[in-house]
Each structure stands twice: as structure tokens, then as C-alpha cells.
Amino acid sequence: QKREISNFDYLMYLNTLAGRSYNDYMQYPVFPWVLADYHSETLNLTDPHTFRDLSKPMGAQTMERKHKFIQRYNEVEKSEGDLSAQCHYCTHYSSAIIVASYLVRMEPFTQTFCSLQGGNFDVADRMFHSVKSTWESASRDNMSDVRELTPEFFYLPEFLTNANHFELGCMQDGTVLGDVQLPPWADGDPHKFILLHRQALESDYVSAHLHHWIDLIFGHKQHGSAAVEAVNTYHPYFYGDKMDLKNIKDPLIKSTILGFISNFGQIPKQV
């Protein structure tokens, strides 16, 4: 409010308070998608329609998608210690594989990604190759994709280029994967993308609405009735600090829960 720190610095501070760190891919700093415009030739940061709705999680960015997740929530009976527990989302907005897939063109993330995939790159069509198509998947098209972003999207142009010339494969339409495809307003320049994307994060619109997203990720809409109302509940296993692993006697159930958490992500500690 006093403009003494940037939105970027504030988000990094909150991530640190919530126990998230660059040293842990399973609890990597999480940043929001801030834009919804990945098709215009020029980016208009004075138009509210340019921006993502920060008051809603990625699963509720369109009404149709929101209603599908509410329907899923209502269809599942409450059941503890079961993979079919009542929740809106069975996938997470930040996990080791999401982080590694975004940063796969840079080491050490390349090796991390391959090890998580059993030693190889993923099928080319599933690799991170386009900012626009990733936004469309996470905000509209894919019911198992509700991912947010990593801090690098706001300061590190290098992760968008395949400078190491990794052979990432060829998509079904014949496109050979190389550099990440950028929105038209970036003019094919990763530095311009980062510059404009950072300007968007620091814009007046985002400054006025960022607290809504913080409530969802770090604050009072993270769990409980407020989370249900905000269409923002995740599988119970994602709430690591809420799981009482000490009292689970069955080693198979315990290892299943730990494996689930390490593979699919964790909710930050509530700030």
C-alpha cells in the first residue's frame, strides 16, 4: 500500500513465510497467472479484461469449468483416508513435476524432469511448449490441470529458450519442440515477455486485486467453509500439516499418503 516493496517481493516474502523454498521442488514458490490475454498484438495493462480473475482459483476461471468442479465436489461422499475424498481438485497448482516441466530447458531442472518421468522427456504434446496453450489448459480446457506459475516467469528469460539444444521431441502436428512459443505481444523475444509480464504483475490492477489470490493460496480461503465457498478445496492428502501421519499405523497407507504428497504437491502453510 505504501509502495515500499514490489508485488514480486511481497509474494516471495509470503512464500517464505509459508515454508516454500527454491530448495524443495515439492514446495517451490508459487506465483499467480496474472494475465488472460495471450493473443493480442499489444498488451493493454489499463484494461481489466487483460487480466486473470485473481479472486478465483484456476479451476473457476470460467463458469462452465467452475460448475463442473462444484458438481464433482457434490458427487463424492465424505470419506477419510480414501483417494476419492470430497474435494474440488484431485490435482494441485504446484508440484515437483509442474516446476520441472516449466523449467525443463535449463539444468538442473532438465535432469530432475527426466528422473521424475522415468529417465526420459515426456510425450512432446504434453511438454511445456507454449504460454498461450498452457494458460488455456490450466484455465479452461483440462479438468486435471489447475497449475499456477513459478517466480521465474517474472524475471528469467533464459528458461523460455532451448539454449542447450535438448531434443524435446516432435508434436503430432509436426512441430519440433525448441524455444517456448510466446504471445504475439512479446514479438518472439523472451526478454520482452519477461519485461511486460513483470509490468503486469506490478500494475495497478494486480496491486488492487492480488490480496484475493493471496487469500486463496496462503490465507483464510485455503481450507474450511471459506474454501468450499470459493471452489478452492483440494484432496486431503495435499494438506500436509493437517495429516496426522504419526497415528496412521498401516505402513502401506502411510507410504501411499507420503508418495501422493511428494508427487502431486502440497498446500502452503497458512499464513
What confidence tens digit (pLDDT) does each residue in 254-270 have? 777 777 777 778 899 99
Which one is predicted more confidently, 102 or 239? 102
Is residue 61 situated within a structural domain? yes
Confidence of residue 157 (pLDDT cuts 50, 70, 90): very high
Is residue 67 situated within a structural domain? yes
Provide the domain count of the chain: 1
Is residue 207 situated within a structural domain? yes
What range does the domain containing 246 cover?
A: 7-262
46 burial class (0-12, 13-18, 19+ CB within 10 angstroms)? Answer: exposed
As a whole-number percent, the residues of the chain with pLDDT over 70 amount to 95
Residue 77 has a pLDDT of: 64
Compute the average pLDDT of residues 176-182.
95
Indicate the DSSP class of residue 79: -
Q: What mean pLDDT value characterizes the chain?
A: 91
Q: Whose grid coordinates read 481450507?
A: 223
Instruction: List C-alpha distances in Å: 129 to 19, 30, 236, 261.
Output: 30, 20, 31, 26
Is residue 152 situated within a structural domain? yes
Q: What is the CATH number of the domain that holds 54?
A: 1.10.1540.10
Indicate the DSSP class of residue 108: T
User: Residue 58 pLDDT > 80, yes or no?
Assistant: yes
Compute the average pLDDT of residues 202-221.
97
Q: How far apart (Å, rounded) are the C-alpha atoms in residues 215 and 153?
A: 21
Is residue 1 situated within a structural domain? no
Compute the average pLDDT of residues 149-154.
98
Q: How far apart (Å, rounded) are the C-alpha atoms in residues 30 and 149?
A: 6
Phi and psi dihedrals of 63, rounded to 5?
Answer: -65, -40
